[in-house]
Amino acid sequence: MATTPQRRWQAACPNCGAPVEFRSAASGTAVCSFCRSTLVREGDALRRIGQSAELFEDYSPLQLGAAGHHAGEAFALVGRLQIGYAGGSWNEWHALFDNGRSAWLSEDNGRFVMSFEALLEERVPAPTAFVIGAPLTVAGQRWQVGAVTQAQVAAAQGELPRPPAGGFVVVELRNAQDEVGSLEFVGEAPPLWSVGRQVRIEELGMSGLREDSSKTLGSRSLPCPSCGAPLEPRLDSSKSITCEHCHAVVDLTQKDEGAALAYFAQHAGPEPRIALGTQGTLPLDLGGKPVDWQVVGYQERREIGDDEPSSWREYLLFNRTEGFAFLVDTDEGWSLVRPLTGAPTDLGETAVWQSKRFAHRWTYQAETTRVLGEFYWRLERGERAEVSDYELRGTGRSELLSREQMSGEVVWSLGRTLSAAEVAAAFGLAAGAAGALSHPDVQPSAGLLRTIIIVVVVLLVLMLLLRACTHDDCQAYRDNFGPNSAEYMACKARNNPRIVPIGSGAGGSWGGFGSGGGGHK
């Protein structure tokens, strides 16, 4: 538990008269917990500069007053910002340490990052100059641009280091040290710079968490805008959900429940081989601590722009403290992957992560063709991404790296391969399920059928040529007079006047044109 800071300061809210307390002398702003007035300290008085919107319920396990330890120092959560953007929202909690230092504990999609603001002496480009996925150097470190996001403070609570901004732009950077950097541009002012790392609630040893933090929305029900059937999101972080009745994909990012929800229709298809809602246990790392997962989403994806397109399936898994992971089912087998906080060093044909060198396998365009369940991002019809896959082969297993670039964002993921038997055992599937999981029920693509037909035709031609070469019209002369007889040679000359003497033949190419190859996901 965090101890009492050096001193506290308290004054009455100029709007409602309620007491407003500052735990840090460095804090210049607070939001009144009674009337939600945004207040600024001016000497020994408070001045009202506006009013914060009401916080929307997001079932976060965190709350004001929760305390813990990070890097040997005690802290407490004293303030909160709810930040909205086109794809949804995230939380940033103001953490005040006993030594007087402030930090931000960011919460997004079940994952947590502790960031500290730092002085940035150098000049950086304007937000419009940053290129997604491009490398750059900031504060003496090499980074990759992960995302550029237009955001705004939707609501505020508690004690803050500065007045909350209205609209601003966040440029998110990631590096090979598993760090995330943030450049926050507000108007024409120099950007605020912060650097953070992913943390786990258990590792922070936090107390004072919300008792009711099951991360469920069991009491919330919305009518499907397509067919009217009830939609019941189970996760507070869900940005999209599919209707179980008409299969429409519904956008949940609209906070005004009086407005009609946006949606798009999609075709029906076979049920996933692992049903939505199924619970299972899989460690993130080989030999690591088992993690309890629940299947909350399912999507089918395919490769586009290729003569022989392949398809695969991805199950979205959720754990309250670990966030989200993906169980991926391809024709090559199963794998468990999850997004990284940092970004590997991309060297083109290799990618380096934590001193491991992964070999590039292929790069392709991927399209989402069908979805079921709930998702923590806002789904769009025909969602596409450019994907690059890397692999590190081991003894019977492989580690995987994947880079996906969409409009406005680059995401790196790390994973490991699994056997079908592991998947079946992890999710308690029926006996014999491992064999079914090992052989995806997919139909050969048009490109594959074309290849099979070409191979069969070539084999038939070779058989006919072989027969023609081995058939001898002069076999009777050969049998009666011998292979070197004049009678036999005369017969051969009459039947084939174009015989070319040995030694005068022409050369040929090895392989031939059009003999390229390659692999696909």
Quick one: pLDDT at residue 451?
53
Quick one: pLDDT at residue 511?
27
- CA gap 303, 519 in Å, rounded: 12
Which amino acid is present at 332?
E
Q: Using the structure block, give the residue that is written with the tokens 């460690």.
A: 283
- CA gap 183, 418 in Å, rounded: 38
Quick one: pLDDT at residue 494?
58
Q: 214: which residues sit within 8 A by CB, 6+ positions away? A: 59, 320
Domain borders along the chain are: 9-204, 218-268, 280-438
Q: 40: which residues sit within 8 A by CB, 6+ positions away? A: 28, 29, 46, 47, 49, 163
Quick one: pLDDT at residue 256?
54
Fold of 218-268: Rubrerythrin, domain 2 (2.20.28)
Residue 419 near residue 329 (C-beta atoms within 8 A): no
Q: Using the structure block, give the residue that is written with the tokens 């995401």.
A: 411
Quick one: pLDDT at residue 445?
43
- CA gap 7, 22 in Å, rounded: 9
- CA 186 centroid distance within chain: 28
- CA gap 238, 375 in Å, rounded: 5
Cβ-in-10-Å burial (0-12, 13-18, 19+) of 180 comes to buried
User: In the numeric block, which tokens belong to residue 398?
Assistant: 């492989």
SS3 assignment for 50-95? EECCCCCCCCCCCCCCCEEEECCEEEEEEEEEEEEECCEEEEEEEE
DSSP H helix total and E strand total for the chain: 6, 31
Quick one: pLDDT at residue 447?
47
Quick one: pLDDT at residue 310?
86
Q: How much is the pTM?
A: 0.72
Quick one: pLDDT at residue 132?
93
User: In the numeric block, which tokens belong to residue 223?
Assistant: 């009518």
Instruction: Give ∠ CA 169-340-144 in degrees, rounded to 5.
Output: 50
Quick one: pLDDT at residue 507?
26
pLDDT in tens, the chain (521 residues): 444 444 566 777 777 777 777 776 667 677 777 787 776 677 666 767 666 666 666 667 889 999 999 999 999 999 999 898 887 788 999 999 999 899 999 987 668 999 999 999 899 999 999 999 999 999 999 999 999 999 999 888 888 888 887 899 999 999 999 999 999 999 889 999 999 999 988 899 999 988 754 444 444 678 899 888 898 888 777 889 999 889 899 988 765 555 678 888 988 888 999 999 999 999 988 778 899 999 999 999 999 876 677 899 999 999 877 889 999 999 889 999 999 999 999 888 999 999 999 999 999 999 999 999 999 888 888 889 999 999 998 766 799 999 999 877 899 999 999 999 999 999 988 756 666 676 444 344 444 445 555 656 666 666 666 655 555 667 665 665 566 555 556 566 656 544 333 333 322 222 222 222 222 22
Instruction: Give ∠ CA 9-14-19 in degrees, rounded to 5.
Output: 40
- CA gap 12, 33 in Å, rounded: 12
Quick one: pLDDT at residue 61?
82
Quick one: pLDDT at residue 60?
77
